[in-house]
Chain A
Amino acid sequence: MNKITIIVKREYLTRVRKRAFIIMTLIGPILFAAFLIIPAWLATLEDKEEKIIAVIEYSDSNTPVPDSLKQFFDALPDRDNLKFEYIGYTTLDVLKSTLEYSKYFGILHIPHNVINSEVVELYTKKEPSISMEIYITKSLEKYIHNIKLRKLNIPVEVLNSVQTSIKLKTIKLEKGKYEEKDLKNLRRGVGYAAGFLIYFYIFFFGAQVMRGVIEEKTNRIVELIVSSVRPFQLMMGKIIGIGLLGLTQFIAWIILTFVIVTVAQEVLMVKNNIKEKQQFTAESIIDAKPVTQEQLNTDNKVAEFEGILNKIRGIDFIVMISIFIFYFLGGYILYGSLFAAIGAVVDSETDTQQFMLPVTVPLIISIFVMINAFMNPSGKIAVLFSIIPLTSPIVMMARIPFDVPWAELVASMIILVLTFLGTTWFAGKIYKTGILMYGKKVNYREIWKWLTYKT
């Protein structure tokens, strides 16, 4: 068997079996899935607890529910977990002072001049949900809007027929293809995640390469190994082995995230969706009322969320993932070899500081440029840094969703490949000398001298 293969196998197998790695591999997708699902899920999740709202006009304890308030019976229908009770024979002040001990969640005060004042008040025990607020305002808005129109003697049929709702779909035309904007946003999000992932991987797995080299050096096993294999083979074996480890985790994360998201979608969303739909039809038939905006909203949200999930699964991942993997590996090998060189130069991890700086600075710059690149993806800075090899793996991820010209992409890729060939050669030289150097404080001038050694 080829020696590099033997080394790669050891580097990979000893790490892939580690408990920390397995735990990370399993927890990662759960976090990602939670990150994707929970906000959307919470948005569609209705409060299960039934809430009763007391509706009152400011009145005195001798009058029943006034007609001016009764007109809202229809305008503000009960919902699944939200009931309205219209109160008479009491005053707003009394209700307010007894709210804490009452069955009511809140008091909706609709003054008799609401049509002109356009102000209603909602007193609640606890913070009301946003959907409750939206439901009340939308319903009242619509009703009062209609009243105002009716005052102008416009018949209801006409009103209904002129009701218009514009949904703006933005579509960008390009070379015969078109793409909806929300898909674009989604790709932007994926690009963003990809950039951060590469950043994280380079740091995390690069540091593992460095630690592995330091371990071999401080264990003093390195001299034994380099009497069997070339130092360059040992270094590359380590970089490749740990790179495969990262790739394994990455692929496991993607697969597991997809599985979790899909399962979660089936379990959570489908159930919710059916319930909403049933309620929606039942109410429409029995009450023959116009479907309220909020119901439509909820329904839309579910559909929208399903759509997003479907799009996540349906996006042209082949291209995205291919480019991602290319830059991931390229960036990793480039930085991995530098990390290996650092590991070879020092005697312990505490000595790495002075050599880490030139490696971490370009990575941190990459992150800043990437964040900017989302706002101005074809700006000079973004283009420049997506071609400079030390920053291109991360910055390019931000540009990919905005259709990078092929020439720039290819140039960036070629430069990256040439650079990592260069850095592995350069790192190999430092590595070769450094691993056999014990107990010596090394500085940059010393390293420069090593590069001139003939070995």
Chain B
Amino acid sequence: MDIFKAQNIRKQFGNTIALNEVSVNVPEGSIYGLLGPNGAGKTTLIRIINQILAPDKGELYFYNRKLKSDDIFQIGYLPEERGLYKKMKVGEQALYLAQLKGVSKKEALARLKYWFQKFEIQAWWNKKIEELSKGMQQKIQFIITILHEPALIIFDEPFSGFDPINTKLLKKEVLNLREKGATIIFSTHDMSSVEELCDHITLINKSKTILEGKINDIRNAYKSNTFKIGYKGNPEKLKNLLDGDFELIEHSTKDNTNYAKIKVNRLLRKNELLYLLIPEIQITSFNELLPSMNEIFIKVVEKSQDVTN
């Protein structure tokens, strides 16, 4: 079941179209990547999901029924532009923001106690935010985002500004939240963390959806039948073996081993490659190269740019 669905969302600011017929389906329990270059319309879409903005056109569904204003109690949001009241004390502030998300003061207090113990930050309770380092503030922000135990959590560039230790901790917590049944929408430019965490993605460019689906399907769809072969032997020999259906893209040598990237142009002859090579050279490794999300991102965005131009 989809926890959240947006259908044909359109949003315009004056003459600028921020979202043009954008649809997303976020399956329950997934980690959903919302990708796109700067200014593509991601933040607008996130703000629409959070009901900060209303779409000009289109329908929003939460658990297969229309999104209503109370649903914000079930949504957690860590904005990209985030901050806290500098002069307010940590505990007081967390309580305040939890109450705004509909958690009673007593309940919020109990949950905060749990999280502060878990992160070992009880000593910060009576400190002012401005006394904390940036990393410390981000931990507090993370706790505030999930304190009302939302079913849907939206992280907008969550790792920007985090040091590697905190990034690791946060990733662990994100996976933990998913274990417990939460769905996560994850907006980022960091493609390696998309590969690491996301199950589904939507790629938005220039206010339109240009790619959507399961991350494995997408990577398979974009694979170019390229193989990386490690071998010992004469590179000239290898080159002579390849006919027109095989194309040598790249060749390198490292630690007495040669590496060749070979693209198979006729899919039917995929297995023939090994058959051709084995008698002549000593093969040490053989891998199919899947495109990285980074490559797909650049490729798809550039292609859509060409289309619009």
Contact = CB atoms under 8 A, between A and B. Distances in A.
A219 interface: yes
Contact of A224 (B13, B51, B56, B79): B79
Contacts of A220: 79, 81-83
A229 B100 contact: yes
Contacts of A436: 47, 52
Interface of B: 13-14, 47, 50-54, 56, 72, 75, 77, 79, 81-88, 96-97, 99-101, 141, 144
B93 to A, nearest CB: 9
Nearest to A449: B14
B81 A6 contact: no
Nearest to A5: B99
A166 interface: no
A228 B82 contact: no
- In the A-B complex, the 7 residue pairs with the closest CB atoms: A220-B83, A228-B100, A219-B83, A223-B79, A227-B50, A227-B77, A220-B81
A14 B14 CA distance: 38
Nearest to A237: B100
Nearest to B53: A455
A85 B82 CA distance: 85
B14 A225 contact: no
Contacts of A10: 96
Interface in A260-291: none
A6 B98 CA distance: 11
A20 interface: no
Nearest to A216: B85
A167 interface: no
Nearest to A7: B100
Contacts of A126: none
A129 interface: no
Given A219-B84, A227-B77, A1 B13 contact: no
A224 B86 CA distance: 14
14 contacts: A1-B99, A3-B100, A215-B85, A216-B85, A219-B85, A220-B82, A223-B81, A224-B84, A226-B52, A227-B52, A227-B72, A228-B72, A231-B52, A449-B14
Contact of B96 (A6, A227, A449): A6
B85 A221 contact: yes
A454 interface: yes
Contacts, number: 66
A218 B81 CA distance: 10
Contacts of A317: none
B13 A453 contact: yes
Contacts of B51: 227
Contact of B86 (A1, A219, A228): A219
B154 to A, nearest CB: 9
Contacts of A223: 47, 52, 77, 79, 81-82
A47 to B, nearest CB: 52
A438 interface: yes
B77 A224 contact: yes
Contacts of B77: 223-224, 227
Nearest to A18: B87
A161 interface: no
A452 interface: yes
Contact of B56 (A218, A228, A231, A454): A454
Nearest to B105: A1
A455 B54 contact: yes
Contacts of B88: 14
A227 B97 CA distance: 10
Nearest to B79: A223
Contacts of A1: 99
A436 B43 CA distance: 11
Contact of B100 (A6, A438, A452): A6
B82 A225 contact: no
A298 B52 CA distance: 70
Interface string A422-455: 0000000000000010100000000001001111
Nearest to B69: A230
Contacts of B13: 453
Contacts of B87: 14
Contacts of B47: 223, 436
B144 A224 contact: yes
A218 to B, nearest CB: 8
A452 B81 contact: no
Contacts of B14: 449, 452-453
B111 to A, nearest CB: 16
A219 B88 CA distance: 12
Contacts of B50: 227
B99 A6 contact: yes
Contacts of A455: 53-54
A438 B72 contact: no
Contacts of B53: 455
A267 B147 CA distance: 59
B54 A454 contact: yes
Contacts of A229: 100
B301 to A, nearest CB: 24
Contacts of A226: 52
Contacts of B52: 223, 226-227, 231, 436
B11 to A, nearest CB: 9
A432 B89 CA distance: 27
Contacts of B96: 6, 10
A455 B79 CA distance: 19
Interface string A1-20: 10100110010001000000
B52 to A, nearest CB: 5
A227 B82 contact: no
Contacts of A218: 83
Q: In the complex, which of the residues B50, B79, B141 has the most CB atoms of chain A within 10 Å of its own CB atom?
A: B79
A431 to B, nearest CB: 12
A67 B86 CA distance: 87
B147 to A, nearest CB: 11
Contacts of A219: 83-86
Nearest to B130: A219
Given A6-B96, A453-B13, A455-B54, 17 more contacts: A3-B100, A14-B88, A219-B85, A220-B82, A220-B83, A221-B82, A223-B47, A223-B82, A224-B77, A224-B144, A225-B97, A225-B100, A227-B51, A228-B97, A452-B14, A453-B14, A454-B56
Nearest to A437: B13
A438 B81 contact: yes
Contacts of A215: 85
Contacts of B75: 227
Nearest to A3: B100
A10 B88 CA distance: 10
